[in-house]
Amino acid sequence: MPEAGSTSSSPAGRESFGSRLGAAMAARGPLCVGIDPHPALLKDWGLTDDAAGLRRFSLTVLEAVGSLAAAVKPQVALYERHGSAGMAVLEEVLAAAAQAQVLTIADAKRGDIGSTMAAYADAWLRDGSSLAADSVTLSPYLGFESLRPALDLAADNGRGVFVLALTSNPEGASVQHVGGADSVARRIIEAAAAENSRYAGSLGSVGLVVGATVGSALTDLHLDLPSVRGPILAPGLGAQGATPADLRRTFGAAYPQVLGTSSRDILVAGPGAQGLRDAALRTLVGLRGE
């Protein structure tokens, strides 16, 4: 379990992920751009559905939006479908983002137990790993404590995690809403809040994934997101129907913690870098309320 009174730096000396993300959100705005090389988008961009097309797509997006977004979020599954060649591209993208000082969220949704979870943590959160990202998404549905290897390694290395808490897919409610006032989602949120007690500063490094289109579920389930004191990754902005105004209305007092995530709504503006940049700027203006 986390220890209280920790500083904003990891034992390795790196500033905590939450602190770095908070600074990026303050400087650039609360936008995360998903790097989602769907086959249809590759085709629309005139690219081949192979590792070469994947590389061109990914690096173009990173170069276009890297100076605007607080973070970028490569969708790991869309690299995995290309096998080892695709994963090699992902390694290159993560390295290029690190070189450009753009924070990364590997959208891998990993979750397992024991030595297997430790191996996942080692892959995505260990210094020196070719897949090391600044943070990774995790699934807690084998029990929140099953994530302990990732939670601890992230803290040790100044990296972060985003734990699935309340997703907007219709099937999610069949698990996450169970228990009513003592719902599964509430227990996940409370566990994340406890983890963030180890971090100093205004933003901890244990974030949550809460869908931008969950509507009234936060109030219906009496969920206290501000108490988490961690970042809230909110996918669903744009193509999935949520607007910046929806995010403000849905998240209320927790909105300053929200990292609004847009993928397809920005990516369809490619393949030109300027089109991608303009689309990201429009989304950013809305998130900032300008």
Distance CA 5, CA 258 (A): 25
Q: Which of 14, 28, 38, 109 is catalytic?
A: 109
Distance CA 183, CA 199 (A): 26
Handedness of CA 106, 107, 111, 116 (dihedral sign): negative
DSSP β-bridge partners for residue 34: 73
Residue 68 contacts by C-beta under 8 Å, 6 or more apart in sequence? 28, 29, 31, 33, 277, 280, 281, 284
Say if CB 287 and CB 244 are below 8 A apart.
yes
Coil vs helix vs strand at 56 = helix
Say if CB 78 and CB 51 are below 8 A apart.
no
Distance CA 13, CA 35 (A): 29
Say if CB 71 and CB 21 are below 8 A apart.
yes
What is the full DSSP assignment across 167-206? --SGGGHHHHTTTGGG-HHHHHHHHHHHHGGG--SS--SE
Is 109 annotated as catalytic? yes
**CB-side exposure of 223: number of CA atoms within 13 Å?**
32
C-alpha angle 209/31/133, rounded to 5°? Answer: 65
- Could you list the active site residues? 109
